[in-house]
Amino acid sequence: MVNPQTDEIRPISVSESPEDKFREFLEIRGEKLTDPRRVLVRHIYSTHKHFDADELVRDLHDSGRAISRSTVYRTLRLLVDAGLLRELRLTNRTAYEHDYGYPDHDHLHCTSCNKVVEFRNEEILKLRDAVSRANGFRASGHRFLIEGVCSSCSRSHSPRRRLDLI
């Protein structure tokens, strides 16, 4: 589900809202969907972006929502366990993204500016499935992360003098 105009991964249709799915997960564990947890789920799913816990705390604070840092960290862990968020372990931080309601996709990570680009490639999916079949394995997903330097950072750090090329 990639938009060819923007290369944006588009959400897929799901039967339950993330909030309902989270409530169900918590009920199975004997826990409740408290107001702070509800605010977090709604805030996280109001936009599709990669974020880390500190960014989320800052966004919540900037929008006038006072939720403790410990509640944010505990709820992020629960959202990952519930299959609503996916953790991306990047070079210098752990980022989160929507898992529920989004198709399998992979990532490019610029180690200079921390930019994360999503992409979907059918050849990678075919290779994953072929390798799995060859080894008697049934794949349920994969994580593929390419680290490097984006074109903007490459241009800004390109050598200016001939001696820099040596």
- The answer to whether the annotation marks 164 as part of a ligand binding site is no
- The answer to whether the annotation marks 150 as part of a ligand binding site is yes
- The answer to whether the annotation marks 109 as part of a ligand binding site is no
- The answer to whether the annotation marks 59 as part of a ligand binding site is no
CB–CB of 46/32 below 8 Å? no
- The answer to whether the annotation marks 142 as part of a ligand binding site is yes
- The answer to whether the annotation marks 52 as part of a ligand binding site is no
Side-chain half-sphere CA neighbours of 27 within 13 A? 6
Annotated binding site for Zn(2+): 110, 113, 150, 153
Annotated binding site for Fe cation: 106, 142
Annotated binding site: 106, 110, 113, 142, 150, 153
